[in-house]
Amino acid sequence: MSSRIRVAWGTGAAPTEMAAYDAALADANLHNYNLVGVSSVIPADAGVDAVGTAPDLGPAGNKLTVVEAHANTAGPGHTSAALAWAERGDDPGLFYEAAGETSDDDVESRVTAGIEAGLDLRGWDADDPAVRSVTVEAEPGEHAAAVVVAAYGDSDPVC
């Protein structure tokens, strides 16, 4: 596995909730992988890059280890997702996520409070956390989704 973690984000709208989620993943270029969620620890030997759109991380259908902030809404309305991360040099770091039918400011505030609590819980000191958030509006009659995903390395075969 690559020692880089890439943070990608996207939004999408479609006629169903799942199609909107798929469209948001496509916007982040993560729609062709089977996402395997993990909690929130950044391995000591990994660095984090905010890339916006993920590069090619392997063949379609592979599994990809991720920490994901994801929210859907039915229109009319809006929804937001945010991911915060704190790197600690050569030591393990931390991700925290927040999402919901709320504003960028609210999810950023929640994810910042969460990561600060997580660092305190572990007794870890870190530089100021980085935060990425996205918001999407859903028109009447459609669904919308927002995602911010931390993809750990490259994908691996499912079987």
Kindly report the CATH number assigned to the domain that includes residue 42.
3.50.20.10
Backbone φ and ψ of 25, nearest 5° = -65, -40
How buried is residue 159: exposed, middle or buried, by Cβ count under 10 Å (0-12/13-18/19+)? exposed
pLDDT at 146: 98
pTM (2 decimals)?
A: 0.95
For residue 3, what pLDDT band results from cuts at 50, 70 and 90?
confident
Q: Which domain holds residue 69?
A: 4-156
Given a cut of 80, whether residue 1 has pLDDT beyond it is: no
Are the beta carbons of 123 and 2 closer than 8 angstroms?
Answer: no
Total structural domains within the chain: 1
Backbone φ and ψ of 31, nearest 5° = -80, -15
**Letter string b/e over residues 136-149, b meaning 16 or more CB atoms within 10 A of that residue's CB:** bebeeebbbbbbbb
pLDDT at 156: 97
N-terminal to C-terminal alpha carbon distance within the chain: 16
- Encode pLDDT of 85-114 as tens digits: 999 988 999 999 999 988 778 999 999 999
